[in-house]
Amino acid sequence: MEKDKVINNHKKNGSRDFYNLGHQRIELKKVDALLAPIMIIGSPRSGTTWLQRLLLENKLIAGGQESFFYSLFNESFLSVKDDIGGRRVGLSAYWEKDQFNMQMQELWVRTFLPMFLNKPSATVLLEKTPFHAFYLDDIADFLPNTKFIHLIRDSRAVTASLNAAAKGWGGGWAPKNTKKSALEWYRHVKAVRNSKASKNNQVYLEVHYEDLLLEPSEELKRIFTFIEKTSSMTLSNYDKEKVSNSFASFLLDENNINSPYSDSISTFIMK
């Protein structure tokens, strides 16, 4: 279902440049951007939060905490799928798929609009929920203009990090042993790579954590090219002091100290 179905449904209630959302009139270009998010996915402890922090230092990118939006509503989406057979029960008895998706798209816009209102310069919505790795094709059906950045970290490092988290602050969610931690990495990576979306390089980009550490400038340029193929999305949109602090705080974490990366980091900050 195309995003224009949502926009066109509301044009009649306002000017051609605005979308009426309750008592709010929102520029259609902002609605377009909200319905075309960039999603960071990957296994837990693969560096997705770090990558998100780096990208959010760009003046054109806005985002917030992990939303779990699609995973939380997954059962509702499943209940209105076109292939439901037999007697209709649940939401499928009241909604057709396109109508339901239209309402959920409006909820998506309502949910993430504050990210743009709090950062007026932003033109790109960045959403980061690692667990969305299990729903790529469903998300692509719901929001057809979504792009996915899959951050992959060495499985051994992820396993070690998950084990460490389980003994402390991550005790409520991290796997309790090495085998389960390794399987957590495997499940996320396999789910993403088995999706149809991952076969389309126009909507899917793999980034390796180790490459981002060694060549941050080059990797960020590659990500910007993927996000938006315009000259406006460049390193010049960054607050370099904040980016420097982001790298520094990451390396000072006792789980991430790795001195050989210091030269690459200083090179990135100087560019």
Of the candidates 148, 151, 152, 153, the residue with the CA atom closest to the CA atom of residue 200: 148
**3 state DSSP class of 147:** strand
What band does 237 get if pLDDT is binned at 50, 70 and 90?
A: low
Question: Considering only CA atoms, which of 45, 51, 192, 217 is closest in space to residue 128?
Answer: 51
| Entry pTM | 0.80
Residue where the block lists tokens 């084990």: 163
Q: What pLDDT digit, counting tens, does each position of 84-93 carry? A: 566 777 888 8
Q: How far apart are CA 226 and CA 113, in angstroms?
A: 23
Confidence category of residue 170, pLDDT binned at 50, 70, 90: confident
Per-residue pLDDT tens digits for 194-220? 999 999 999 999 999 999 999 998 999
If residue 78 lies in a helix (H) or strand (E), which one and from where to where?
A: helix 69-79
> In this predicted structure, what is the pLDDT of residue 84?
56
Higher pLDDT, 249 or 120: 120
For residue 3, the model assigns a pLDDT of 45
Residue 14 has pLDDT above 60, yes or no: no
Is the confidence at residue 36, as pLDDT, over 50? yes
pLDDT per residue as tens digits for the range 90-136: 888 899 999 999 999 999 999 999 999 999 999 999 999 999 999 99
Q: What is the DSSP string of 96-141?
A: -HHHHHHHHHHHHHHHHHHHHHT-TT--EEEEE-GGGGGGHHHHHH
Per-residue pLDDT band at 169 (split at 50, 70, 90): confident
- Report the run of H or E that residue 150 belongs to, with start and end: strand 147-152
144 neighbors 82 (Cβ within 8 angstroms): no
CB-based contact 233:58 (threshold 8 Å): yes
Report the first-to-last Cα separation within the chain, whole angstroms.
42
What is the CA angle 66-159-41, rounded to 5? 30
